[in-house]
Amino acid sequence: MPSFITDAPRYLFLTGKGGVGKTSVAAAAALILARGGRSVLLVSTDPASNVGQVFGLSIGNTITPVPAVPGLSALEIDPDEAADAYREQIIGPVRNLLPQAEIAVITEQLSGACTTEIASFNEFTGLLTDAAASADFDHIVFDTAPTGHTIRLLQLPGSWTDFLNEGKGDASCLGPLAGLDQQRGIYAEAVAALANPELTRLVLVTRAQRAAMDEVERTSLELAALGMSEQYLVINAVMPEPASDDELATAVHRREQDVLRDLPAAIRDLPTDVLELKSDNMVGIDALGSLLVSGPGTGADTDGALGEAPVVFADDGGDRIEALVDELAEQDHGLVMLMGKGGVGKTTVAAAIAVALAGRGLPVHLTTTDPAAHLDETLDGGLENLTVSRIDPHEATQQYRDNVMRTKGAGLDEAGRAALAEDLMSPCTEEIAVFQAFSRAVSQARRQFVVIDTAPTGHTLLLLDATGSYHRDVVRQMGETAYITTPMMRLQDPDLTKVIVVTLPEATPVLEAEQLQSDLRRAGILPWAWVVNNSLAAAHTTDALLRRRGHNELAHIRTVAGIAPRHAIIPLLEREPVGVAALGALTASPDLAGV
């Protein structure tokens, strides 16, 4: 039995970024525990949850027994419905008391990830703190666990709402905090249960990729700092020793083994399970039952004959990334912003586009928040027409915090300053600080190309605009009749700014990218194109396992094509694209022949 479910406590919380396989691992764990004679409840808040599909029944927001697995029940919490209910809980009582403009601002403050996380946690709390609600179960397996940021919000002092109501705070997550006092005692009990190793085990799910490992290390450190040290690590979907001599399969296996041999220090000594990549999606009990055991799973013995070769690229070649670059290059300047969730390859795609534009003789400035310094080392002075800079998010955030404390915190008492300092630890603060640093680069886009990675989310951009953090401050200072152009206005100008959403050809990353696009549209920014990165469907591979995995990507690629007629597909490569030559190769035309 995998170590993370050996002698499992009552609660198992699985956390990790989208697309790493949390739902599948959680469902497989619940299945094994139930087959061991335990009574188990599987709870999912994954917006792309396929728990019902896995078990072949409709589940939804009620505890539903799984007939095919005695002892197992499931519950799917819809995070959007939970967030709607949470918003109404806060806005309902004041809807007829405040001007419509103020209601609109509060609504936007309640539209971000903070609200969804806390609203989902509201659903968790009953199962964590109400013994009667979960008395029928020996184990409750949760997918997805709240983040360290959510838990920090729940630990804020009881005076926080009064502090906000008095107008002293410049909070980046004002809305979600407004409802905390109503259940503060229940939250405290729930957080205590999370930190109790006799009750709860946190399972960090990740992939054998450098970026994913760095991210899970940050999560581990953040949770440990909050007293949640009972952690286990699950590294999912690791390429097994290839059964063929396919170069791509061999390269992926070697690359992942290098990652496994050099885990980040903070997670190196955690109890760890390594799960092999399976050939098929985890749909159906038989497939799910194979996930936590060694072996390739169902379908791996296929000879790769997957029927008619799929056609994904448009006939006019518009879905190749070099076509996007050609279209961008029709102007001699502009702002190109790469957006997307962590781990999808924004930095690589941004660098590839910058190299391709510079290779066409156009002046390009590439700005990135990538913590790795290899872009500076590889590109600085390495290509004519290309300059590179790196914004340090930690440095920019600290400067922003210091400035806010020096100005808005100057007139506060000790308790007020402590509360303001607490709010400034929010991830939203980092996005605002990085946006301000980006703003200095935006003005360059009127004279040359500026390629920016990583962009703040659409919610943060709209929150900046709605609360007057930047745009409205300028309007107020300059006067309503003055002619002004703020960074926000430049981002909303489709002639100047081209936003490219980057995703992976998997269910959760695509859904998260759709949500990002909705946020951007609310902020008045319409994405110009999408890029699907690391696609096996676009790779030249003869390996049966990888060919079947590529075939499974096609539904997600079609989803992207329906959302974004202008899109590009980048294949999974044998070597990580580091250096000008490798980055330039990304804009070569792949094809899907033979998939």
pLDDT for 379-418, tens place per residue?
A: 545 678 888 888 887 888 888 888 888 887 888 888 778 7
Among 291-295, 329-333, 526-530, 587-591, name the one with the lowest average pLDDT. 587-591
Q: Which one is catalytic: 45, 46, 279, 426?
A: 46
DSSP string over 396-442: HHHHHHHHHHHHTTTT--HHHHHHHHHHTTSHHHHHHHHHHHHHHHH
Which of 125, 508, 541, 559 is catalytic? The answer is 508
For the residues of 137-199, what is the DSSP string, one character each? -SEEEEESPPPHHHHHHHTS-TTHHHHHHTT----SSHHHHTTGGGGHHHHHHHHHHHT-TTT
**Cβ-contact 365, 351 below 8 angstroms:** no
Q: How far apart are CA 550 and CA 133, in angstroms?
A: 42
Task: Choose, from 15, 16, 17, 22, the residue flagged as catalytic.
Answer: 22
Q: Which of 23, 219, 368, 535 does the annotation list as catalytic?
A: 23
- Asked if the domains 3-289 and 321-585 are classified in one and the same CATH topology, the answer is yes
**Residue 416 annotated as catalytic:** no
- Helix residue ranges per DSSP H, 226-319: 247-261, 265-268, 285-289
56 catalytically annotated: no
Which stretch of 99-113, 269-283, 335-349 has the lowest confidence by average pLDDT?
A: 99-113
21 is known as an active-site residue = yes
DSSP 240: P
Residue 274, strand partner residues: 235
In the chain, domain spans: 3-289, 321-585
Please indicate whether residue 508 is annotated as part of the active site. yes
Q: List the catalytic residue out of 21, 179, 299, 340.
A: 21
Q: What's the CATH superfamily of 3-289?
A: P-loop containing nucleotide triphosphate hydrolases (3.40.50.300)
pTM for the full model? 0.78
Over 437-485, what HEC string results? HHHHHHHHHHCCEEEEECCCCHHHHHHHHHHCCCHHHHHHHHCCCCCCC
> What's the pLDDT at 151?
67
Among residues 24, 150, 486, 559, the one annotated as catalytic is: 24
pLDDT, one tens digit per residue, over 57-97 is 888 788 899 988 999 999 888 878 888 888 888 788 888 88
Q: Which residues contact 84 (CB under 8 A, 6 or more apart)?
A: none
Confidence of residue 198 (pLDDT cuts 50, 70, 90): very high
The Cα 488–Cα 463 span in angstroms is: 11
Q: What is the average pLDDT score of the chain? A: 79
pLDDT at position 8 over 90: yes
CATH class label, 321-585: alpha beta
SS3 44: strand
Report DSSP state, residue 3. G
* Whether residue 19 lies in the annotated active site: yes
Greater pLDDT, 481 or 213: 213
| 167 torsion bin: left (phi>0), alpha (psi -120 to 50), beta (else) | left
